[in-house]
Amino acid sequence: MDANLNAELLDNLLTIAGRPAPTRKRVRVWSMSGVERLSFPDGATAIFKYAKKPFDNEDRALRLAHTHGVPVPKVHASAVLGGWLGMLLEDLGPAIREADDLDGAAAAVVLHRTPTAAGLPVLGRARLRSLPSRALDHLDQLRKEERWQAADDIEDALDRIVRAAEARSAGATVAPFGWVHSEFHPTSLHISQSGWKLLDFARAFTGPGLLDLASWHGTLDTPDPVRLRVFLEVYVTEGGTPDALAERGGLAAEKWALGWHRMWAVEWFMEQAIRWINDPSTDPAYIKTVRRHLTDVLQLLEV
Protein backbone atom coordinates (compact mmCIF):
# COMPACT_ATOMS: atom_id res chain seq x y z
CA MET A 1 0.00 0.00 0.00
CA ASP A 2 1.23 3.46 -0.87
CA ALA A 3 2.66 5.09 2.27
CA ASN A 4 0.91 8.42 1.66
CA LEU A 5 -2.45 6.73 1.15
CA ASN A 6 -1.87 4.64 4.24
CA ALA A 7 -1.10 7.73 6.32
CA GLU A 8 -4.16 9.56 4.99
CA LEU A 9 -6.39 6.58 5.72
CA LEU A 10 -5.12 6.44 9.29
CA ASP A 11 -5.61 10.20 9.69
CA ASN A 12 -9.23 9.81 8.59
CA LEU A 13 -9.79 7.08 11.17
CA LEU A 14 -8.19 9.12 13.94
CA THR A 15 -10.41 12.07 13.05
CA ILE A 16 -13.53 9.90 13.15
CA ALA A 17 -12.50 8.39 16.49
CA GLY A 18 -11.31 11.70 17.95
CA ARG A 19 -7.86 10.36 18.74
CA PRO A 20 -4.46 12.11 18.55
CA ALA A 21 -1.52 10.95 16.47
CA PRO A 22 -0.08 7.67 17.84
CA THR A 23 3.19 5.84 17.52
CA ARG A 24 2.92 2.91 15.14
CA LYS A 25 4.36 -0.61 15.26
CA ARG A 26 3.91 -3.14 12.49
CA VAL A 27 2.46 -6.50 13.51
CA ARG A 28 1.88 -8.15 10.13
CA VAL A 29 1.96 -6.69 6.62
CA TRP A 30 1.53 -8.28 3.19
CA SER A 31 0.53 -7.08 -0.25
CA MET A 32 -3.23 -7.10 0.37
CA SER A 33 -3.55 -6.16 4.04
CA GLY A 34 -1.69 -5.08 7.12
CA VAL A 35 -2.00 -4.86 10.89
CA GLU A 36 -0.34 -2.31 13.19
CA ARG A 37 -0.51 -1.60 16.90
CA LEU A 38 -1.06 2.05 17.77
CA SER A 39 0.04 3.60 21.07
CA PHE A 40 -1.51 6.94 22.07
CA PRO A 41 -0.03 9.60 24.36
CA ASP A 42 -2.50 8.74 27.16
CA GLY A 43 -1.29 5.12 27.23
CA ALA A 44 -4.25 3.68 25.34
CA THR A 45 -3.67 1.35 22.40
CA ALA A 46 -5.63 0.25 19.35
CA ILE A 47 -5.16 -1.90 16.27
CA PHE A 48 -4.99 -0.34 12.82
CA LYS A 49 -5.96 -2.89 10.18
CA TYR A 50 -6.16 -2.13 6.48
CA ALA A 51 -7.02 -4.25 3.46
CA LYS A 52 -8.12 -4.07 -0.16
CA LYS A 53 -10.58 -6.20 -2.13
CA PRO A 54 -11.73 -8.87 -1.49
CA PHE A 55 -11.02 -8.20 2.21
CA ASP A 56 -12.64 -4.78 2.35
CA ASN A 57 -15.93 -5.67 4.06
CA GLU A 58 -14.55 -6.90 7.37
CA ASP A 59 -15.83 -3.90 9.32
CA ARG A 60 -19.38 -4.78 8.29
CA ALA A 61 -18.94 -8.45 9.18
CA LEU A 62 -17.46 -7.59 12.58
CA ARG A 63 -20.30 -5.20 13.38
CA LEU A 64 -22.90 -7.77 12.31
CA ALA A 65 -21.23 -10.44 14.42
CA HIS A 66 -21.10 -8.10 17.43
CA THR A 67 -24.77 -7.19 16.99
CA HIS A 68 -25.67 -10.89 17.08
CA GLY A 69 -23.63 -11.58 20.20
CA VAL A 70 -20.49 -13.16 18.76
CA PRO A 71 -17.42 -12.17 20.80
CA VAL A 72 -15.30 -10.10 18.37
CA PRO A 73 -13.01 -7.07 18.65
CA LYS A 74 -14.89 -3.78 18.79
CA VAL A 75 -14.69 -1.59 15.67
CA HIS A 76 -13.93 1.93 16.91
CA ALA A 77 -13.97 3.45 13.43
CA SER A 78 -13.76 2.42 9.78
CA ALA A 79 -13.28 4.23 6.48
CA VAL A 80 -12.53 3.51 2.83
CA LEU A 81 -9.99 5.45 0.81
CA GLY A 82 -8.54 4.67 -2.60
CA GLY A 83 -10.04 1.20 -2.60
CA TRP A 84 -8.60 0.33 0.82
CA LEU A 85 -10.60 -0.36 3.98
CA GLY A 86 -9.11 0.94 7.20
CA MET A 87 -10.28 0.02 10.69
CA LEU A 88 -9.43 1.09 14.21
CA LEU A 89 -10.05 -1.99 16.33
CA GLU A 90 -10.01 -2.84 20.00
CA ASP A 91 -6.55 -4.02 21.06
CA LEU A 92 -7.06 -7.35 22.80
CA GLY A 93 -3.50 -7.44 24.12
CA PRO A 94 -1.41 -10.61 24.42
CA ALA A 95 -3.15 -13.98 24.51
CA ILE A 96 -2.66 -16.04 27.65
CA ARG A 97 -2.40 -19.30 25.66
CA GLU A 98 -3.02 -20.86 22.29
CA ALA A 99 -6.48 -22.13 21.43
CA ASP A 100 -6.99 -25.89 21.52
CA ASP A 101 -9.63 -28.15 19.93
CA LEU A 102 -12.03 -27.70 22.85
CA ASP A 103 -11.79 -23.92 22.49
CA GLY A 104 -12.33 -24.18 18.75
CA ALA A 105 -15.36 -26.44 19.08
CA ALA A 106 -16.95 -24.16 21.68
CA ALA A 107 -16.35 -21.05 19.55
CA ALA A 108 -17.75 -22.75 16.47
CA VAL A 109 -20.92 -23.66 18.37
CA VAL A 110 -21.46 -20.00 19.31
CA LEU A 111 -20.79 -18.79 15.76
CA HIS A 112 -22.97 -21.42 14.09
CA ARG A 113 -25.88 -20.66 16.42
CA THR A 114 -25.80 -17.01 15.39
CA PRO A 115 -28.74 -15.92 13.22
CA THR A 116 -27.87 -15.60 9.55
CA ALA A 117 -26.93 -12.02 8.71
CA ALA A 118 -28.41 -10.45 5.58
CA GLY A 119 -25.74 -9.01 3.35
CA LEU A 120 -23.14 -11.74 3.78
CA PRO A 121 -22.25 -13.68 0.61
CA VAL A 122 -24.08 -17.03 0.40
CA LEU A 123 -22.48 -20.36 -0.45
CA GLY A 124 -25.42 -22.74 -0.87
CA ARG A 125 -25.49 -25.99 -2.78
CA ALA A 126 -25.57 -24.35 -6.21
CA ARG A 127 -22.58 -22.17 -5.42
CA LEU A 128 -20.73 -25.07 -3.81
CA ARG A 129 -21.10 -27.37 -6.80
CA SER A 130 -20.03 -24.53 -9.11
CA LEU A 131 -16.60 -24.25 -7.45
CA PRO A 132 -14.79 -26.67 -9.81
CA SER A 133 -16.38 -25.00 -12.85
CA ARG A 134 -15.31 -21.60 -11.54
CA ALA A 135 -11.79 -22.95 -11.05
CA LEU A 136 -11.79 -24.11 -14.69
CA ASP A 137 -12.82 -20.60 -15.73
CA HIS A 138 -9.85 -19.19 -13.81
CA LEU A 139 -7.58 -21.72 -15.52
CA ASP A 140 -8.90 -20.66 -18.91
CA GLN A 141 -8.14 -17.01 -18.12
CA LEU A 142 -4.64 -17.90 -16.93
CA ARG A 143 -3.93 -19.79 -20.14
CA LYS A 144 -5.16 -16.88 -22.23
CA GLU A 145 -2.39 -14.90 -20.58
CA GLU A 146 0.14 -17.61 -21.51
CA ARG A 147 0.33 -18.86 -17.94
CA TRP A 148 -0.23 -22.30 -16.37
CA GLN A 149 0.44 -23.90 -19.76
CA ALA A 150 1.69 -27.19 -18.28
CA ALA A 151 -1.38 -27.75 -16.15
CA ASP A 152 -3.33 -30.38 -18.08
CA ASP A 153 -3.42 -32.53 -14.94
CA ILE A 154 -5.17 -29.71 -13.08
CA GLU A 155 -7.74 -29.40 -15.87
CA ASP A 156 -8.33 -33.18 -15.86
CA ALA A 157 -8.81 -33.24 -12.08
CA LEU A 158 -11.26 -30.33 -12.17
CA ASP A 159 -13.20 -32.00 -15.01
CA ARG A 160 -13.59 -35.12 -12.86
CA ILE A 161 -14.80 -33.06 -9.90
CA VAL A 162 -17.27 -31.15 -12.10
CA ARG A 163 -18.87 -34.44 -13.15
CA ALA A 164 -19.22 -35.56 -9.54
CA ALA A 165 -20.20 -32.19 -8.07
CA GLU A 166 -23.98 -32.59 -8.46
CA ALA A 167 -24.05 -35.74 -6.34
CA ARG A 168 -21.29 -34.83 -3.90
CA SER A 169 -22.73 -31.37 -3.11
CA ALA A 170 -25.88 -32.89 -1.63
CA GLY A 171 -26.31 -31.97 2.01
CA ALA A 172 -24.71 -28.54 1.67
CA THR A 173 -27.55 -26.87 3.57
CA VAL A 174 -27.84 -29.51 6.28
CA ALA A 175 -27.17 -27.98 9.70
CA PRO A 176 -24.96 -26.34 10.71
CA PHE A 177 -25.72 -23.90 7.90
CA GLY A 178 -25.30 -20.17 8.52
CA TRP A 179 -22.31 -18.08 9.58
CA VAL A 180 -19.00 -19.38 8.24
CA HIS A 181 -15.89 -17.63 9.51
CA SER A 182 -13.82 -19.08 6.60
CA GLU A 183 -10.45 -18.49 8.26
CA PHE A 184 -11.24 -20.57 11.32
CA HIS A 185 -7.87 -21.56 12.77
CA PRO A 186 -6.40 -21.49 16.29
CA THR A 187 -4.65 -18.22 15.39
CA SER A 188 -8.04 -16.62 14.74
CA LEU A 189 -9.23 -17.34 18.28
CA HIS A 190 -7.78 -14.94 20.85
CA ILE A 191 -7.93 -16.16 24.45
CA SER A 192 -7.40 -13.71 27.30
CA GLN A 193 -8.13 -13.64 31.02
CA SER A 194 -11.62 -12.36 30.24
CA GLY A 195 -12.51 -15.05 27.68
CA TRP A 196 -12.19 -15.52 23.93
CA LYS A 197 -12.83 -13.45 20.84
CA LEU A 198 -12.83 -14.35 17.17
CA LEU A 199 -10.62 -12.39 14.80
CA ASP A 200 -10.27 -12.07 11.03
CA PHE A 201 -13.79 -11.93 9.60
CA ALA A 202 -12.66 -10.56 6.25
CA ARG A 203 -14.11 -13.47 4.25
CA ALA A 204 -17.11 -14.43 6.39
CA PHE A 205 -20.11 -15.80 4.51
CA THR A 206 -23.30 -17.80 4.92
CA GLY A 207 -22.79 -21.47 4.12
CA PRO A 208 -22.02 -24.95 5.46
CA GLY A 209 -20.54 -24.67 8.94
CA LEU A 210 -18.61 -27.88 8.34
CA LEU A 211 -16.20 -25.85 6.20
CA ASP A 212 -15.13 -24.00 9.35
CA LEU A 213 -14.61 -27.23 11.23
CA ALA A 214 -12.61 -28.68 8.33
CA SER A 215 -10.33 -25.64 8.29
CA TRP A 216 -9.48 -25.70 12.00
CA HIS A 217 -6.45 -27.99 11.69
CA GLY A 218 -5.07 -26.11 8.69
CA THR A 219 -4.19 -27.16 5.16
CA LEU A 220 -0.43 -27.68 5.34
CA ASP A 221 -0.64 -31.31 6.45
CA THR A 222 -2.38 -34.20 4.71
CA PRO A 223 -6.11 -34.09 5.53
CA ASP A 224 -6.95 -36.42 8.42
CA PRO A 225 -10.61 -37.54 8.38
CA VAL A 226 -10.21 -39.46 11.65
CA ARG A 227 -8.90 -36.37 13.42
CA LEU A 228 -11.73 -34.26 12.02
CA ARG A 229 -14.30 -36.87 13.08
CA VAL A 230 -13.07 -36.57 16.65
CA PHE A 231 -13.29 -32.78 16.38
CA LEU A 232 -16.86 -33.02 15.04
CA GLU A 233 -17.79 -35.20 17.98
CA VAL A 234 -16.29 -32.67 20.39
CA TYR A 235 -18.30 -29.97 18.59
CA VAL A 236 -21.52 -31.91 19.14
CA THR A 237 -20.63 -32.57 22.79
CA GLU A 238 -20.10 -28.81 23.26
CA GLY A 239 -23.64 -28.14 22.00
CA GLY A 240 -23.30 -28.23 18.22
CA THR A 241 -26.06 -29.82 16.18
CA PRO A 242 -25.87 -33.64 15.94
CA ASP A 243 -26.50 -33.19 12.20
CA ALA A 244 -22.84 -32.22 11.96
CA LEU A 245 -22.11 -35.95 12.08
CA ALA A 246 -24.65 -36.84 9.39
CA GLU A 247 -23.59 -38.35 6.10
CA ARG A 248 -24.00 -36.04 3.11
CA GLY A 249 -23.37 -36.38 -0.60
CA GLY A 250 -22.92 -40.12 -0.08
CA LEU A 251 -19.90 -39.49 2.15
CA ALA A 252 -19.10 -39.43 5.83
CA ALA A 253 -19.40 -35.88 7.19
CA GLU A 254 -15.66 -35.57 7.78
CA LYS A 255 -14.72 -36.59 4.23
CA TRP A 256 -17.40 -34.34 2.73
CA ALA A 257 -16.20 -31.40 4.82
CA LEU A 258 -12.51 -31.85 4.10
CA GLY A 259 -13.10 -32.48 0.39
CA TRP A 260 -15.26 -29.44 -0.17
CA HIS A 261 -13.09 -27.24 2.01
CA ARG A 262 -10.07 -28.13 -0.15
CA MET A 263 -12.12 -27.49 -3.30
CA TRP A 264 -13.15 -24.12 -1.88
CA ALA A 265 -9.46 -23.38 -1.24
CA VAL A 266 -8.48 -24.43 -4.78
CA GLU A 267 -10.98 -22.03 -6.34
CA TRP A 268 -9.80 -19.25 -4.02
CA PHE A 269 -6.12 -19.79 -4.83
CA MET A 270 -6.82 -19.82 -8.56
CA GLU A 271 -8.89 -16.65 -8.30
CA GLN A 272 -6.02 -15.01 -6.40
CA ALA A 273 -3.60 -16.09 -9.14
CA ILE A 274 -5.58 -14.44 -11.94
CA ARG A 275 -7.50 -11.65 -10.18
CA TRP A 276 -6.34 -10.50 -6.78
CA ILE A 277 -2.58 -11.13 -6.91
CA ASN A 278 -2.17 -11.60 -10.68
CA ASP A 279 1.61 -11.93 -10.49
CA PRO A 280 3.12 -14.55 -12.84
CA SER A 281 6.16 -14.88 -10.58
CA THR A 282 3.93 -16.51 -7.97
CA ASP A 283 2.55 -19.12 -10.40
CA PRO A 284 4.89 -22.00 -9.43
CA ALA A 285 3.87 -21.74 -5.77
CA TYR A 286 0.16 -21.50 -6.62
CA ILE A 287 0.34 -24.43 -9.06
CA LYS A 288 2.07 -26.59 -6.46
CA THR A 289 -0.56 -25.77 -3.83
CA VAL A 290 -3.48 -26.30 -6.22
CA ARG A 291 -2.12 -29.69 -7.33
CA ARG A 292 -1.72 -30.81 -3.71
CA HIS A 293 -5.23 -29.77 -2.76
CA LEU A 294 -6.78 -31.31 -5.88
CA THR A 295 -5.13 -34.65 -5.07
CA ASP A 296 -6.82 -34.43 -1.69
CA VAL A 297 -10.18 -33.47 -3.21
CA LEU A 298 -10.17 -36.46 -5.58
CA GLN A 299 -9.49 -38.82 -2.69
CA LEU A 300 -11.83 -37.26 -0.15
CA LEU A 301 -14.81 -36.81 -2.49
CA GLU A 302 -14.09 -40.23 -4.04
CA VAL A 303 -14.21 -39.06 -7.66
Q: Is residue 251 part of a domain?
A: yes
Domain holding 173, by residue range, is: 101-300
Whether the pLDDT of residue 30 is over 90: the answer is: no
Q: Is residue 113 part of a domain?
A: yes
pLDDT at 57 over 90: yes
- Axis-axis angle for helices 101-113, 225-237 (nearest 10): 60
**What is the average pLDDT score of the chain?**
96
How many structural domains comprise the chain? Answer: 2
Distance CA 138, CA 267 (A): 8
* Judgement on whether residues 106 and 227 belong to the same structural domain of the protein: yes
The region, left, alpha or beta by phi > 0 then psi within -120 to 50, assigned to residue 195 is left
CA 120 to the chain's CA centroid: 13
The CB-side HSE value for 266 (13 A sphere, CA atoms) comes to 32
Mean pLDDT of 123-147: 98
**Cα gap 193→246, rounded to integer Å:** 36
The domain that contains 124 carries what CATH number? Answer: 3.90.1200.10
**Residue 184 pLDDT greater than 90, yes or no:** yes
Return the pLDDT at 203: 94
Tell me what the mean pLDDT of segment 177-201 comes to: 95
Q: What is the pLDDT of residues 66-84, one digit of tens each?
A: 999 999 999 999 999 999 9
Output the pLDDT for position 302: 98
- Residue 145 falls within a domain, yes or no? yes
C-beta of residue 83 within 8 angstroms of C-beta of residue 49: no
**Is 95 a domain residue?**
no
pLDDT at 298: 98
Q: Is 96 inside a domain boundary?
A: no
Summarize the confidence of residues 192-220 as an average pLDDT.
95
List, for residues 261-281, the tens digit of each pLDDT value.
Answer: 999 999 999 999 999 999 999
> How far apart are alpha carbons 79 and 51 in whole angstroms?
11
- Residue-wise pLDDT tens digits, 86-101: 999 999 999 999 999 9
Same domain, 134 and 240: yes
pLDDT bracket for residue 1 (50, 70, 90): confident
Count CB atoms within 10 A of the CB of residue 62.
26
| pLDDT (0 to 100) of residue 283 | 97
Amino acid 155: pLDDT: 98
Chain centre distance of CA 144:
29
CA distances from 93 to 13, 79, 179, 191, 297 (A): 20, 23, 26, 10, 38
Query: Facing residues of 96 across strands?
Result: none
Cα 197 from Cα 89, distance rounded (Å): 13
Look up residue 15 and give its amino acid. T
72 and 109 both lie in a single domain: no
Between residues 131 and 32, the one the model is more confident about:
131
Res 292: pLDDT = 98
The answer on 67 and 206 residing in a single domain is no
Burial environment of residue 96 by CB neighbours within 10 A (0 to 12, 13 to 18, 19 or more): exposed
pLDDT for position 118: 83
CA–CA gap between residue 17 and residue 14 (Å, rounded): 5
**Contact partners, residue 163, CB within 8 Å, separation at least 6:** 303
